Structure 1
């Protein structure tokens, strides 16, 4: 439980800093892996990645940005409709439409 809280705190903290701030390589790789699953449209791979890194969807997906887009928008723009549908309940509709 402490690992989950620590990872979540690190991810949220890193998302609040600007893009030029140094990021822990392990955290950066975690975020990259999550973004890569947004391109695959493979629910099994998506769920496996979420479980592997113990990601709390409610905390991460409203704030996660991949290539300048929110994760939901990123998944949709890459034709990953299954993954986008899976995370849609966790995305803030106001923030995603801006």
Structure 2
């Protein structure tokens, strides 16, 4: 009995996490479709029409199992991919030339 209750709770909590507001989902699908078209006028219009914050959405948006950037590249939308490339997570390298000799440099990538 306890196992049944625990499994029902686990399934119900998982489905609650997977749901998305239908308006948000419709907006994100429109962004994916506009990005796939490689038409910058359509893409800009869609972004403004749905009030998409590029800095918040593009590092996180996944279209058909691919990051939005990779999705655009896969569909031949190179102009769209180039436009959003600045929102991709980058690499940081710490390099202090004055304090450490060249053979003792420490590089940090994350």
TM-score by length of 2: 0.64
Equivalent residue pairs, number:
77
Q: Structure 1: where are the runs of 5+ without partners? A: 1-16
- Asked if 1:67 is matched to 2:67, the reply is no
- What displacement does 1:22 show? 1.8
More helix by share: 1
- Structure ranking higher on relative contact order (CA contacts 8 Å, 6+ apart): 1
Rg larger for: 2
Deviation (angstroms), 1:93? 4.2
TM-superposed CA distance for 1:53, in Å, is 1.1
Output the CA distance in 2 between the equivalents of 1:79 and 1:64.
Answer: 18
When the two chains are superposed, the root-mean-square deviation of aligned CA atoms in Å is: 1.9
Q: Distance in 2 between matches of 1:93 and 1:42?
A: 26
- For residues 35-70 of structure 1, give each alpha carbon's deviation from its aligned partner in whole angstroms, at most 9, with x where no partner exists: 101210000001001111111111110000001100
